[in-house]
C-alpha cells in the first residue's frame, strides 16, 4: 500500500489536471453586442471632480491672459500717476480724529 503522503500527491496531480481540462466556453457575437449595449447604457465615464484636472484644464490656460492684464494694468496706473503710498499718507495726515487719538498716547 502507498504511504498517505504519496496518495495526496497523486490526488493533487489528478485534480490539477481536471481543473485545467475544463472546456473552453465559446461565446458568440451576441454576447459582445449585449456587453457593449450595457456599457453604452452607462454613458461616458468621468473621473469625478478632480481639482488638479480642473486647474490644468481651465485655470492654467488663463495664465497668459492674466499676465497680460497685470502688465497693462501696471502701465495704466503709472501713466495716471496713481501712487497708493502717497495717498494713504495724505489721508492719515488730514484725518484729525486719528491725530487726536495719537496725541493721547
Partner 1 sequence: MPDHPHTTSDAEIIRRVIDGDVNSFEYLLKKYQNHVLRIVTKHIPYNEVEEVAQEVFVRAYQALPGFKKQGSFKQWLSAIAVRACYDFWRKRYRSRELPMSDLNEKHREWLENTLSNQSDLSFNKGSHTEEARELLDWAMDKLSARDRMVIELVYLEGLSAKEAAGLLGWSVANVKVRSFRSRKKLKKLLTGVIPT
Q: Does 5 bind partner 1 (CB under 8 A)?
A: no
CB count, 10 Å around CB of 69?
11
The DSSP output letter for 1 is -
Q: How far is the CB of 23 from partner 1 (least distance, A)?
A: 7
Q: Per the structure block, which three cell numbers stand in for 39?
A: 456599457
Q: How far is the CB of 98 from partner 1 (least distance, A)?
A: 59
Q: Does 51 bind partner 1 (CB under 8 A)?
A: no
Please give the size of the binding site for partner 1, defined by CB under 8 A. 36
Q: Which stretch binds partner 1 (CB under 8 A): 4-12, 62-70, 72-80, 85-93?
A: 4-12
The DSSP secondary structure of 17-67, one letter per residue, reads HHHHTPPPPP--HHHHHHHHHHHHHH-S------HHHHIIIIIGGGHHHHH
Q: Tell me if 77 sits within 8 A of 71, measured CB to CB.
A: no
Which residues 9-48 are close enough to bind partner 1 by CB under 8 A? 10-25, 27, 31-32, 34-36, 38-40, 42-48
List interacting residues with partner 1 (CB under 8 A). Answer: 2, 4, 7-8, 10-25, 27, 31-32, 34-36, 38-40, 42-48
Amino acid at each position: 500500500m502507498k504511504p498517505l503522503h504519496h496518495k495526496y500527491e497523486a490526488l493533487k496531480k489528478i485534480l490539477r489536471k481536471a481543473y485545467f481540462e475544463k472546456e473552453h466556453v465559446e461565446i458568440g457575437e451576441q454576447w459582445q453586442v449585449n456587453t457593449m449595449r450595457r456599457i453604452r447604457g452607462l454613458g461616458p465615464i468621468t473621473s469625478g471632480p478632480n481639482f488638479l484636472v480642473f486647474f490644468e484644464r481651465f485655470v492654467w490656460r488663463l495664465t497668459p491672459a492674466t499676465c497680460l492684464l497685470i502688465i497693462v494694468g501696471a502701465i495704466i496706473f503709472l501713466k495716471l500717476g496713481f501712487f497708493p503710498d502717497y495717498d494713504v499718507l495724505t489721508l492719515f495726515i488730514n484725518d484729525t480724529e486719528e491725530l487726536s487719538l495719537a496725541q493721547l498716547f
